Amino acid sequence: MTQDHKHLHLQIRGDHSEIAVITLTRPTKRNALNDALVMALRDTFQNLPDTVRAAVVHGEGDHFCAGLDLSELSERDAGQGVMHSRMWHTALDALEKGRVPVVAALHGAVVGGGLELASACHIRVADETTFFALPEGTRGIFVGGGGSVRVPKLIGAARMADMMFTGRVYKAAEAERVGLTQYLVPAGSAFDKAFELATRIASNAPLTNYALIHALPRIAEQPADHGLFTESLVAAIAQSAPEAKARVRAFLDGKAAKVSKD
């Protein structure tokens, strides 16, 4: 199955239609996100088919995403600016707090709102051509797509402030070291690696994936005592699912893979 918005393509792949591949298809503008594209992301993630268990987001052309479409910035007053930022929040929340884990396959520029999009995904895979920046600082604006909430969780507020104060650009290897990406792969292979990871994730019990999306980030932000109690509730719910019992039984019967370091 495929579905097209003007600058966004959705393809459903996998033997059981379990992987959604979402492609930004605006390479002539370096996949800059105009309002229509942000709303297409929102609609796509709010309406993924029931068969989908994991997703990959990537960009066509030489760059993942050049961020906000700056040609749409000039005419907004303060009130419209708030609404515009809130629209981005709704769209990226639909991705981050949706039903399925999302893997970002990154290459070239991941800048401004492009980094905000990447940081809303659950896993980032960057190839060696990738570079990360927050040019908002030097353009006289501020992040508005959730960057000030999500980026510090990856690299800390001090590094994010440095990126905005000084226009610092993180190339792929350094980006992996500081935590902007969890995987670093050879040039041209980010999509394949991301698809492989998504396929593996799709084979997990859906309730475990759901808990990782919805329970883990909330628990991590709770006071320890509340977090420990919430964890117990989530653990009990996950364990009680028939699929969990079947998976544990399969291991005990020698029918499931061991943990292997290779």
The footprint of ligand 1HE (CB under 6 A) covers: 29-30, 32, 62-63, 66-71, 88, 109, 111-113, 135-136, 139, 141, 143-145
The residue (of 138 and 203) whose beta carbon lies closer to ligand 1HE is: 138
The residue (of 30 and 53) whose beta carbon lies closer to ligand 1HE is: 30
First-last CA distance in the chain: 35
Asked if 109 and 66 count as a contact pair (C-beta separation under 8 A), the reply is yes
Which among 14, 94, 108, 15 is positioned nearest to 58, based on CA atoms?
108
Closest approach of ligand 1HE to the CB of residue 32, in Å: 4
Regarding beta strands 183-185 and 123-127, do their DSSP bridges make them parallel or antiparallel, or are they unpaired?
Answer: parallel
Asked if 45 and 94 count as a contact pair (C-beta separation under 8 A), the reply is yes
Closest approach of ligand 1HE to the CB of residue 28, in Å: 6
Cα-Cα-Cα-Cα dihedral sign, residues 159, 160, 166, 172? positive
The residue (of 43 and 231) whose beta carbon lies closer to ligand 1HE is: 43
Closest approach of ligand 1HE to the CB of residue 33, in Å: 7
Task: Compute the distance between CA of residue 144 and CA of residue 69 in angstroms, rounded to an integer.
Answer: 13
- In this chain, which residue has its C-beta nearest to ligand 1HE? 112
The residues that are catalytic are: 116, 136
Closest approach of ligand 1HE to the CB of residue 186, in Å: 21
The residue (of 166 and 222) whose beta carbon lies closer to ligand 1HE is: 166
